[in-house]
Amino acid sequence: MSIRGNIVKRVLISEDAVSLVEKENKIIFIVDLKARKSEIKKAVEKLYEVRVEKVNVQVTPQGEKKAYVKLKPEFSAADLAVKLGIF
């Protein structure tokens, strides 16, 4: 994938997602099915000007790919959530 904007489709907003923001400094994104973890990491870092510690992915039964993005401790997932309109 060459264009970072096509990798991250949207942020996932749910009760569980908000809980992860508060407890584990993670944000969940819906991403392109073909995107690799390294591409997701680079895209999130560039789009939102944060540093990513770890990315885990999961393909849902609906055919969407969820990326669980853990931010480095010096960046707050809650601050990013506010910018994205989750809170």
Domain boundaries, the chain: 4-84
For each of the chain's 87 residues, which pLDDT tens digit applies? Answer: 445 558 999 999 999 999 999 999 999 999 999 999 999 999 999 999 999 999 999 999 999 999 999 999 999 999 999 998 877
Residue 30 burial class via C-beta count within 10 angstroms: exposed 0-12, middle 13-18, buried 19 and up: middle
Residue written as token pair 């944060």: 50
- pTM comes to 0.90
Q: Which of helix, strand or coil describes residue 65?
A: strand
CATH class (in words) of the domain with range 4-84 = alpha beta
Q: Which of helix, strand or coil describes residue 62?
A: coil
Q: How high is the pLDDT of residue 3?
A: 53
Report d(CA 52, CA 74) in Å as an integer. 10
Q: How high is the pLDDT of residue 87?
A: 75
